[in-house]
Structure 1
């Protein structure tokens, strides 16, 4: 009886292999995936007097500048910040796809993990199209990275291999995912916003599971020095996200003083609540696998993500 109980307990505690885990995700993809070209009503017009992001997650919410704005100006700022998020989403998907493709050159094409990587590539490509069409549908203009930023974007996939790829994917996806979950069920938002957020959150949940599983398996086998470097370098995500979320170009398009708007946003306690909520799930995971050291913690804290 005791032996049977121990065997049962051991079986319960045994985690699935990478192949078994990938098979599970492949089955989930087969059951629940979307084709934005047909699953979104692209002809539906923008609804007047509705926000594109919940006011509480707009960077200037609660500031003196926000109080001085008309509702129309507040909605316009939410539209520009929404467009900025989608534009950045396209950059992230681009980087991830390049890194995945490079990794597949050295992978077993018959394995389930390779097949899921290819499935994820398809998902991300459709997301890029969805984001681009959404920007057009809300009568927006995408925010483009500068020439220097494009050089960095094109160089990053060369460095994203194995554990680095999984952590980079999580830094690029989890913060957006947490923010999207605050958005998708808000009935006061534009219908197209809720629809694309629902699609993206559903499919991105599998991508995050895949990256987390890869990190859990790979990080313990890393050399101590490499693990310290990885635990330090992801902290650069804090300054990058602060720059992205308080981009002066966004404020200027909304008719505001870009420098003053950025200053107020970066000092805004409501905005700090949003960024901390966005980073919280990833911070907990990085702590769990031993990849949150004093260097990265300080960088995330200084930019108000912790």
Structure 2
């Protein structure tokens, strides 16, 4: 996980140098006025070496820029005479040394021009001696100034390095504190997120189980509905068959009833006919018995008369 270190208004940035990504801390106090933010240095000595090596010519555009940029300069904070106030007599800047050397050079050149106009040999020798003395004094002065500037540079570099180390330590402490706070906050947020994820996962698993149960119940209900529909269709077919059979049985019952009615009518008519037949037969039997009795009584007379007139007619 990429962590971002925040310390007040300063932050980290990434420079691409020679195709390789290098992380630099923007809290280095000194920056090159020509290179800008791409080149920052820890001390004035390293900045001076960079300027001598990379920018040896005099940069007129760098006068309007600050070495430290927007960040406070620990060198100016450490030196009390930077505001133009009182300075110790042994402290001289490079501009003062340049001004003095220019003044001596200007005086020697002026004396040489004046001596050229006169053209006398002793004066020329005196001028040469004076110029040699001036050169010796200038060399001594420049050597003293170089020694003093070296001592001053060492003191300034020591003060600057101490100030930079203090600032770097404070920045690192602030960064460590901010990182620890961010890590604690991130850990708490991660723990809360983990608990929320666990709760969401448990709820999701519960919902999945409930969904599976609902789907199984739906499938079982659909199977039951299919079975019920099949049973209802079979029962409907059975009911239709029963209705058809009942209709056939009703028609058969009606037919049987009609047949029974016809049989009953035929039976009654047959009974009447049989009764009439029996009555007729009984009447005929009665007539036959009377005739038999009559013939038994009148048979002798009849035989005699039959011989004369013939048998009497029979009544039906």
Between Structure 1 and Structure 2, the one with more strand by share is 2
TM-score (norm 2): 0.19
TM-score (norm 1): 0.20
Q: Max radius of gyration: which structure? A: 2
Q: Which has the higher contact order (CA 8 A, sep 6+)?
A: 1
